Each structure stands twice: as structure tokens, then as C-alpha cells.
Structure 1
Amino acid sequence: MTGHRRETDFRTWVLQHRTRLRTTAFLLCGDWYLADDLVQDALGRLYSRWERVVAAGDPRAYVRRVLCNLHNDHLRRPARREISESDVATLRPHPHTSMDERDDELIAALLTIPAGQRTVLVLRFFEDLSVERTAAVLKTSTGNVKSQTSRGLEALRAALRTRPAETA
């Protein structure tokens, strides 16, 4: 593949998938600016391996795995291990997103559950991956995905029940 052809194919792919990747990253981390950074890092890694990744199959699977790994690496940094409840309450969707304002409450609740459960829920229900594909992305067992999904949904329901109703 020539350099020009490679760059054209990559740019075309990015234009088709960047918005969805950015939303996935936001659902993982709850911060649009961090989501932009995660996507940019993931796309940089994809570009450097573009020909191999395309030859191996769907680039989305590779980028999902990279996004999850980058987010997990970010969580391991001591200063970012927790999000305070007041920070979660102030999060609002970035104006350049296609997400509906009605999703604010769900997103805020999603951001209060443990990161591992949140990652599984985002991959399973936002990215619409099967249990098996989610396990492959996270390099874990299907049983772990099932249990994290169950616990994550339970935690999400509890978070939604305990969120104060906003007044109009």
C-alpha cells in the first residue's frame, strides 16, 4: 500500500468512526477532554499499525481494545483514581455531541459505578458487542463479562434510584 493510499484509507475510516469512538471514550471516562485525548492516542496507535490491523480484520475491534487499555492506564494514575460526586454532578455533554440531554441522568449514574463494570456495560450495550466479543476486547473470560454485566446493571439501577430528581 502506498503512503498516499494508506493515509487516504485511514482518514476515510477515521471520518466514519471518530464520533462513535469519542462517545465510547466519554462513556468510559466521563470527561470529554480526556475522551478526546484517549481517542487521539488510540488513533495514533492505529495509524502506526494500520496495514496490519486492516489485514487482520475490523479496525474497530483494535481501537476498542486500545481505548479500554488507555482508559485503564489512566485510572492507574494516582491522581485519577476517583471522581468525586460533586464532579459527576457537574458533568454535562459537550456541545459537539449527538447525545440527547435526556441521557444526562443515565451518564451521571453510569459514571458512579466501578470502572470495570462501566467498561463492560459500555462495550455490551453502547457498542452492542456480544459477551464473547466483549471478553475478547478485554482479554477476559465470558463468565467474567457476564458477572460484571450483572453487577454493573445492578449498580446502575441502584445509582439511578438514589439520584435526586432534578427540578425543572
Structure 2
Amino acid sequence: MLLAIDVHYKATYAKTVGVLFHWENENPLRIITDIINDVADYEPGQFYKRELPCILELLEQVNLKSIKAIIVDGHVYANNNKTYGLGGHLWKALDQKIPVIGIAKKPFHNTEQVSIPIYRGKSQNPLYVSCIGMDEQEALTKVQLLHGDYRIPTILKVLDQHTKMN
């Protein structure tokens, strides 16, 4: 089973949502939600410090032994030197036991060696895929094959919709 996670920030709290699914699924097998009231302030260049605690709190609701990989909305690495971004910090926080795939809508500067653009459907805009704890080519192939005819895979659209719901 896979877990895709996203966090949406409201005025006074954060809403973290996870969808559990298998690679071929169009719809989640289960959706989990967590509300975090004590959210760190945003620090430029240190985004993970705000997002990672929200993700780790949500993971308390999941049997991590059943998870083959976690997908985050973002990057695994912050640069070509492999300085950890959100995905890398999550992998480290999970004792390097669960692979993490970052799927980002925008590139980071100086990440062309660690974040690979892929085109889905007829979109002229790529997604930027990075991973840690698994073979890069396998991650790229799996993301390319996720359900959906458009740039954003169906399962990630569902995740985004649930994350932004009140």
C-alpha cells in the first residue's frame, strides 16, 4: 500500500490529509485527516520545519509496516548536493525505512540532477519527481503510470480536494 500526504494551512491551524492506495487505484482505499493547532511559523528555506511535524502526527494513524512508499507534495532534495528537502527529512525521521517520493509542480533552482521532469497526458508542464530509499527509474515509471489522463494523477487530485475542504 502507498500513502500520499499533503498539508493545507488555515488561519489558525493546519489540516493534514493522507490517502492510502495502490499504484493502479483511481480512488483511495482510505482517507485520513488530522488537524494540527500548534503549527510552526514558516521559515524561508526551512519549509520542512513547518510541514514535517504535521506529517509525522498524521502518520500516527497509519500502520507504517503496511506502507511501501510515501508520496509528498514537494521535493526530496533541496539541491543537487542532496541537501534534504521535505521528502529527505521525512525519510530520515522514519529511520530510512520507508521510501519517499517527492512529486512537485515546480522545480527548485539547482535540482536538475536530483529532480526529474516527467510529462503526463498531453500537458506541456512537467511534474518534478525525486525519491529516496528506492530506485529512481522505478519511481519515475510508477508515477508515470498512476491513474489519470492529465498532468496531475487522479489520486493526487483527490488528495488535494480533501486537503482544501473545510
TM over 0.5: no
Structure number having the greater strand percentage: 2
* Structure whose CA Rg is larger: 1
TM-score calculated relative to the size of structure 2 = 0.34
